[in-house]
Structure 1
């Protein structure tokens, strides 16, 4: 009796399919929780009776974690894409396209037309593991996540190419009261978007589409969103019952043609041999050699404690601090002597308001008439929500709260590192005030949620998981890389048979390395300082604390209340700033407290923000999601000068119809990338030649989605991805042609050794032509032009336009060129004039100036997500780098300065160091390779001039929670510095 067995060992599950006489007689699907080889043995053992003792078995192994098992056991291995094709050919032969999502793997196989197979690389975004991570974030099971999504009313924009990006979108939504149902459905839509944009990469998904893999079988909302997005009816979208086991079934089909045969006993023996195979990996030294060393470590850190007193015996005034963080909520009540009377620490569970209400009710019951809470303060991601909900007296930015707490334990502290659930905050202290702030931007691989996600995926709590690593003899060296790469490293360790203890210890070391070398960018321990305080819930993990001390080679201070430092600092702030009468709601109001959430769309300005309206009863409301202060119900602030807004309106006006008869038809210009700089030139030039120019609309998320199907690369920056939508927008407008030239060089401003354009900007028209199918038979004009030399440009333009349009004469082109250069010069002059007006306004009214240094397209509201308006809401005048760069001498830099926009930013940074009330904020679009060069140079210019360097990294993520923290932190540090300077002046 011949039996074929296929075993699919994926990143999170093991599947087995047994085929006899062409019929599947057994299939099983189970999570392996990192015990890959043991689980494979278990599944075959459980199928033993069905296979039969006398069966002649042909077996093949597949899957992302299957190669190591196959090598160690000697069993045939089949690559999973090939296994997929085998399964489809046998079970669903009519399929045109196969989409398969696994635990950490995703693939698309195009079967008709040109055969093509595409798999995700080292990124697990948009896979089952991503969905699992998001379920953990919402504190539900994956099944419950799917059930929640059925009740959704709206879809939020959520990035999915990495769990880190998604958390940056989701966590603020939860903290602001967004409905879990809406967030759940948005998560599934994000998976769809990642598959279409990240895997299809410009190739159209059409015809009969077969959906395989566990996520696409178990999650009905995911099925629905795929059908809706790809516009597939039930006859063309196939979700077979075999979906979770299809790859194992393909392996079983492949096994038919293998030479090796097994009995049940010999097959089990081969798999057991693999389970016992020795580990092959790079080792790290153990964290602790023995228990005595660990106990000494604990005694040393045990001295940094704080006095406690039970709230039930205390009498007098008390001060409440709340830290509503990205993943946890903390409360601390202190007495007159700074002693802790009460504390609480728990997960937000997606609704911090309920946690606070429950704990505040408990606290009032414990206080009775003996303890009077006379002042309160809140910090963290949920600060605004909680302050509005409960009438908390003060809201303060996290960095200030943590500094206040650290100073209590170590008055001479000169460096603080706080690692929370999703954030790393590092700040240097100079002259007893915050001098420099570093926050993680787009990556949380050095944070608590990073290690917690691994723990949960392996079936452990974070506490259990971390304890396992304390005494591991051979920790695995996983390097210091981002989460998605770390997933690959862990998978490799699993393939090699690494134990949980070795993986746990290795991850603890990796968290520390990521924090030190990716966020702080430390070159040596001296960069950190002599008196280092570490805090945040992540440092309660002894394995991470030990790794940190070993890595920097010196002892640090970890307060015993490390996880409560934000709340303790807030309580100290409340005590330092006690109001005449607290506004914190009492038990009478709290007993009737209710929290309801609804969605709304703001129509007060062109942003049309999606708002989340939180109602707490008694007339208390909190509205989030707005990019300005208008929907909050307060009086409208005076509108401050904002060059970002001025430039956008100026450029938009250039797209208005000329009102003149144009004999040569309409030419569309995409309103993106370098057109944000050169629009005055091209509109003037083309209209002078008799063309009516039509501008694509200002970027929106819907426009991006419209062009998403033709984006061939997921790693290119968001501004470039938007161009696909702009092309579709122009085609919808019915223009006769689209003009988008390739330009290797930019305008030479004489401030750099060369004047190159970014390679993406320079040649993106070529990519659009090759990937947007509608352009194949359309007049898409993409000549190679150089504007840096006017004479050469005239020659190029005459050759192109007179050749294409014989009725145009050389003199016309030359005259149009002269008018275009003048229009561009006038535009530059207007920017400088508006900049001087804005600076004069700030100086006259005693306001700070925010010099936002970026690229011309950062004016696009869909790219900057309203950051200029957010900064303006802090009473700052907004000036762009192109308004001030020429006001400072060329600064010395330590890199080859060959980019026009870089040289502008360097000049703007230098200007800020000479202007007392100016602060620099650099915008960087995530994925911009050449901007990586500018970061260290901009920081050096600012810090050498005594200014704080602030960088905001932006991408598709539309939530500005992290940006707001950084801006407030910068402003708080500036204010502290001014107070100190004033005190020194007086003394």
Structure 2
């Protein structure tokens, strides 16, 4: 009889299995909290009784197991192969294995060609992601699972990356969405990530075994997989020992080893490795010694705000509330800006309850002595809190932070605020905000990452941060996205780095991410002389010291660094000069109630997912809307909106039945611009054009299973759904040409299409097997050369429509070119009308600059309508690009769409009433060039640069902050100019 031991040391847990002649006699599963080798030795001791004095074979697996195996001289098996061994040992006829671990996810295809796919350096869609989301909701993982089983609806949550998902979830929490629905949506995001990120175009079908801890413990996750993949009970296997699969496979694999050990020999080897410390990359310690640290602390104590006991104060007061992404802050200040009351705490997933408690406390402390004259709210939850409690005013958080920083340092020229999920950087010139830099749609490099990582290692954030202060060997984790840092942290753990070293390394990484990824500073001089840092993350002395060391100069951290948004809001309240606040009084608060429910708006084709909040007195606040219509104010006056105009014209293109049949055209990528050309061309040839449905989340889901790469931009991924839509319409011919060149507009050095737009047909042909059942036409044409096009079009289409003549094709081509240029002329004329309307009515204009396909409502997520709701006339880059001379830029200007961006940026610098906001799709590598060039053009012309990165994320909370920040900065400049002129 053979005795074997399998050890699976994953990113978050250790599993040990003992098998006697193939039968499991002992198993154990525990989290290691980054004490990898110590926990492994501890768990082996638990196995002594099952092993006894017999010799046995052993093998180790898991993402954190390689270092232990190497140091102990033990056999190692890669976890995917260990899973395969476990499946074979089970004897089940399994087609596919899906296994989710703490930070690892993998799919093993066993039928139809053996293939394994595993996540890379990103931990999105794994157990660690679920842990982070539970922390965000302030529930245990078990409670998260129970909540998900009571869900009534699903919200679309970005599935590609954990921090992207948090950017969707946090606004839902602040808007009052039900935790049950959010919990189920989190599990759906994990499912989506598995399908798109791991399967990458290969169908998940047949008998599927779901393994790993998350899939064993979370019934809600099991439910989402079964429903999404439409699995029958026979085809969805959730083994009782699923969480031990890798350990079982390791034990089975070990039987091939010639070496046998006794228990004492194995334990000695593992214990010896626990004392080894050898990390390849160390950084300089943050402090030389305790005296150095004390001097640092004393210096930062000086930036303080005067405080006064509220019990002894009589007079006017001003309330400031900052309902942030993860925390709630409340301050009450006196007429002299003294701090009378302060609160800083977690939202606990329900900011309304927190604010109610705080308002009751403030009123109790005020008694009859203190007169609250004004209350002001800022932060993610601003609108919800204003509507819930009758708060007097709101202020965008960037302006609130600016007011607070200027109070501490009147000559401040740079402000850096690192919050739970946001990094905000403000350059200040001439006593007003000159430029605003914010992290994009992800929260990489922010405080929430350090907090969730601390908890994953079994520490509270304060204790974890304190450990890093005196680390002698901080680990160099680089300045990459914080989710990618997980792999660096795991590597450091393998090499024996302690908690202190990882804590210090993470603090340094957060700082580097802010400086080099958000600010993009080349030197400290770019930041200025007088720098104020704020936000709860800077309470962490290790982060603050890392920042000072990285830029080589001292900065100011106010003692109320985490309260600066609330303090700035209170200062703004003092400026309002109200006689008395309208904020709810104690008797109203005692009767206050709040419920929320999900709904879907049907007033337009956007079908916004709404959260309807109902407060006491039957008051309602609706969030999630992209326009004003569901708020009951009727249809707002329609302002000129070139995005809506272009999309309506696309929708109104009608085709008639033709003598040569039908041809399907996917409404995506280049077709948003070239459709008028092809529509006229095929109509003239007697071929009816059938368009795919307009993009939607549902359409995206239909084609998700054929997407081969998760790094492609969202507009490209949508093309797979458009092809599915055409199949549903029953067309037998589908057309999407490959166009290396665009029309030559003589604006740049060349006129290429980007590679994705130009050649995505090739990728679809190779990955969408259904295209083999129809005629898929993807010819290579050059529309920039009309005569050549006529010849090549005839040669190509003659092969499919044998009765075609050269004359017919030439006539059709001429009509197509005429239709295209007429379309472009009409767009420019509409742009001129919109500009004239804005100036006649004194309205602000914004050029919402991007690509032609950004008019797709599913891609822009209604940002154009959001701008309109602020009373802004929305223009497009192609409507104004011809109004200036072609721009000379610092890069090779060879892309048609980009040349328009540069011209549009120049146009905005020439007009005080026009600003530019650039839309950028995640996954667009070329935009790494355009964003810098557009920024440079605008800043040379004295304009602010605002960039909105968009993807599957469709919550506009962060977008609103950016737009309001831009408008606030513009208004501040205008006020300054008026004061100067006066």
Cα distance per residue 1:707-758 (max 9 Å; x no partner):
1111111110100100111001011011131111111111111111111111
In structure 2, C-alpha distance between the alignment counterparts of 1:776 and 1:405, rounded to whole Å? 63
SS at match of 1:87: helix
Contact in 2 for aligned 1:123/1:161 (Cα 8 Å): no
Give the corresponding residue for 2:722: 726
Q: How far apart are 1:819 and its partner, in Å? A: 0.5
Aligned to 2:954: 958
Q: Deviations over 1:6-59 (max 9, x none)?
A: 00000000101100111110111110000111111111111111110x211100
Of residues 69-78 and 764-773 in structure 1, the stretch that sits farther from structure 2 once superposed is 764-773
Q: CA deviation at 1:280?
A: 2.5
> What is the distance in 2 between the residues matched to 1:456 and 1:827?
57
Match among 765, 770, 774 for residue 778 of structure 1: 774
Q: Distance in 1 between matches of 2:778 and 2:494?
A: 50
**Per-residue deviation, residues 644-695 of structure 1 (Å, max 9, x unmatched):** 00000001111x232xx51111101100100001000001101111100011
Q: 1:791 aligns with which of 787, 793, 808?
A: 787
Structure 1 equivalent of residue 197 of structure 2: 198
Q: Distance in 2 between matches of 1:160 and 1:826?
A: 41
Q: Following TM superposition, by how much is the alpha carbon of 1:2 offset from its aligned partner in structure 2, in angstroms?
A: 3.7
User: Counterpart in 1 of 2:737?
Assistant: 741
| Distance in structure 1 (CA, Å) of the matches to 2:475 and 2:866 | 44
2:72: which partner in 1? 73
**1:903-941 CA distances to partner (integer Å, 9 max, x unpaired)?**
000000000000110000000001111111101100000
- For residue 207 of structure 1, report the CA deviation from its aligned partner: 1.0
d(CA) in 2 for partners of 1:543, 1:698: 50
User: What is residue 279 of structure 1 aligned with on the other side?
Assistant: 278
Q: What aligned pairs does 1:623-638 form with structure 2 within 5 A after superposition?
A: 623-634=622-633, 636-638=635-637
What residue number does 2:366 align with? 367
1:801 pairs with one of 783, 797, 800: 797
Q: Distance in 1 between matches of 2:159 and 2:43?
A: 33
1:345 — aligned with what?
344
In structure 2, how many angstroms separate the alpha carbons of the residues matched to 1:764 and 1:533? 47
Per-residue deviation at 1:403?
A: 0.5
What is aligned with 1:20? 20
C-alpha distance in 2 between matches for 1:792 and 1:28: 71
Deviations 1:938-977 (A, max 9, x none): 0000000011011100010000111110100000000010
Instruction: Kindly indicate whether residue 40 of structure 2 is the aligned counterpart of residue 40 of structure 1.
Output: yes
Matches within 5 A, 1:97-112: 97-112=96-111
1:678-717 matches, within 5 Å, as 678-717=674-713
Q: Is the 8 A contact 2:167 2:443 kept in 1?
A: no
CA distance in 2 between partners of 1:55 and 1:455 (Å): 41
Q: Match of 1:484, SS?
A: coil
Partners of 2:447 and 2:13 in 1: CA distance: 25
Q: Quick one: distance in 1 between partners of 2:864 and 2:636?
A: 15
Aligned to 2:215: 216
2:942 matched to which residue of 1?
946
Equivalents in 2 of 1:952, 1:6: separation in Å?
A: 49
Counterpart-to-counterpart distance in 1, 2:769 and 2:636 = 48
Structure 1 residue 760: deviation in Å? 1.1
One of 887, 894, 912 as aligned partner of 1:898: 894
Answering whether residue 881 of structure 2 is matched by residue 881 of structure 1, we say no
Counterparts of 1:224-239 in structure 2, within 5 Å, are 224-239=223-238
> Residues 533-567 of structure 1: CA distance to partner in whole angstroms, max 9, x if unpaired?
00000011110000000000011111000000000
Query: Is the 8 Å Cα contact of residues 372 and 580 (structure 2) preserved in structure 1?
Result: no
Report if the CA contact (8 A) 1:475-1:505 is conserved.
Answer: yes
Partners of 1:498 and 1:383 in 2: CA distance: 42
The separation in 2 between residues aligned to 1:310 and 1:388, in whole angstroms, is 30
Residue 491 of structure 2 aligns with which residue?
492
In structure 2, the residue corresponding to 1:831 is in which secondary structure? helix
Counterparts of 2:172 and 2:183 in 1: how far apart (Å)? Answer: 11
Segments of 5+ residues of structure 2 without an aligned counterpart are none
In the other structure, the counterpart of 1:166 is: 165
Structure 2 counterpart of 1:597? 596
CA distance in 2, matches of 1:882, 1:161: 31
Indicate yes or no: 2:969 matched with 1:978: no
Alpha-carbon distance between aligned partners in 2 of 1:124 and 1:744, rounded to the nearest angstrom = 36
Shift of residue 93 of structure 1? Answer: 2.9
Cα distance in 2, alignment partners of residues 636 and 312 from structure 1: 50
Q: Which residue of 1 aligns with 2:10?
A: 10
- Equivalent residue number for residue 479 of structure 2: 480
- Offset at residue 344 of structure 1 (A): 0.5
Determine the structure 2 residue equivalent to 1:129. Answer: 128
> 2:846 is paired with a residue of what secondary structure?
strand
Corresponding residue for residue 910 of structure 1: 906
User: Offset at 1:636?
Assistant: 4.0
CA distance in 2, matches of 1:442, 1:697: 27
CA distance in 2, matches of 1:444, 1:361: 33
CA contact (8 A) 2:441 2:958 kept: no
Aligned pairs for 1:478-627 within 5 A: 478-627=477-626
Indicate whether 1:672 and 2:668 are aligned. Answer: yes
Instruction: Please give the residue correspondences for 1:444-459 in structure 2 after superposition, counting only pairs within 5 Å.
Output: 444-459=443-458
SS of residue paired to 1:193 = helix
SS in 2 for 1:951: strand
How far apart are residue 637 of structure 1 and its match? 2.9
Over the aligned positions, Cα root-mean-square deviation in angstroms equals 0.9
* Deviation of 1:803 (Å): 2.2
> 1:919 maps to what in 2?
915
1:415 aligns with 2:411: no
Q: CA deviation at 1:92?
A: 4.2
Question: Over residues 825-858 of structure 1, what are the superposed CA-to-partner deviations in whole Å (9 max), with x where a residue is unaligned?
Answer: 0000000000000000011000111001100000
Aligned equivalents of 1:504, 1:107: Cα separation in 2: 29
1:425-460 per-residue CA deviation (whole Å, 9 max, x = no partner) reads 001111101110000002322110111111111011
- Structure 2 CA distance for aligned equivalents of residues 803 and 85 of structure 1: 49
Q: Assess if the C-alpha contact under 8 Å between 2:697 and 2:858 holds in 1.
A: yes
In the alignment, the residues of structure 2 paired with residue 317 and residue 331 of structure 1 have an alpha-carbon distance, to the nearest angstrom, of 17
Q: How many pairs align? A: 982
Cα distance in 2 for residues equivalent to 1:458 and 1:757 = 48
Quote how far apart the aligned CAs of 1:578 are: 2.3
TM-score (norm 2): 0.99
> In the alignment, is the contact (CA less than 8 A) between 1:2 and 1:55 conserved in 2?
no
Look up the match of 1:298.
Answer: 297
Give the conservation status (yes or no) of the 8 Å contact 1:124–1:161.
Answer: no
**8 Å contact from structure 2 (residues 847, 874) kept in 1:** yes
Counterpart contact for 1:378–1:567, Cα < 8 Å: yes
Give yes or no for the alignment of 1:657 onto 2:655.
Answer: yes
Q: Are 1:602 and 1:608, in contact at CA under 8 Å, matched by a contact in 2?
A: yes
Separation of aligned partners in 1, 2:194 and 2:744: 41
TM-superposition CA deviations, 1:804-841 (whole Å, max 9, x none): 21100011011100100110000000000000000000
Corresponding residue for 1:441?
Answer: 440
CA drift of 1:771 comes to 1.3
Looking at structure 1, the residues matched to 24 and 364 of structure 2 have their Cα atoms a distance apart, in angstroms, of 63
Task: Choose 308-317 or 902-911, whichever is displaced more.
Answer: 308-317
Q: Distance in 1 between matches of 2:279 and 2:416?
A: 35
Q: Is the 8 A contact 2:655 2:683 kept in 1?
A: no
Q: Is the 8 A contact 1:665 1:736 kept in 2?
A: no
1:244-283 correspondence to structure 2 within 5 Å: 244-283=243-282
What is the CA-CA distance between 1:635 and the residue it aligns to?
Answer: 5.2
Q: Distance in 1 between matches of 2:205 and 2:833?
A: 55
SS at match of 1:693: strand
- Give, in whole Å, the separation in 1 of the partners of 2:846 and 2:75: 63
8 Å contact 1:34–1:458 — kept in the other structure? yes
On the 8 A contact 2:846/2:874 being kept in 1, the answer is yes
CA contact (8 A) 2:167 2:442 kept: no
Does the CA-based 8 Å contact 2:747-2:887 persist in structure 1? no
Structure 1 unaligned segments of length 5 or more: list them: none
Residues in 1 aligned to 2:744 and 2:475: alpha-carbon distance in whole angstroms: 51
Distance in structure 2 (CA, Å) of the matches to 1:892 and 1:691? 43
Q: Which residue, out of 812, 819, 837, partners 1:816? A: 812
Determine the C-alpha separation between the residues in 2 that align with 1:810 and 1:673.
29
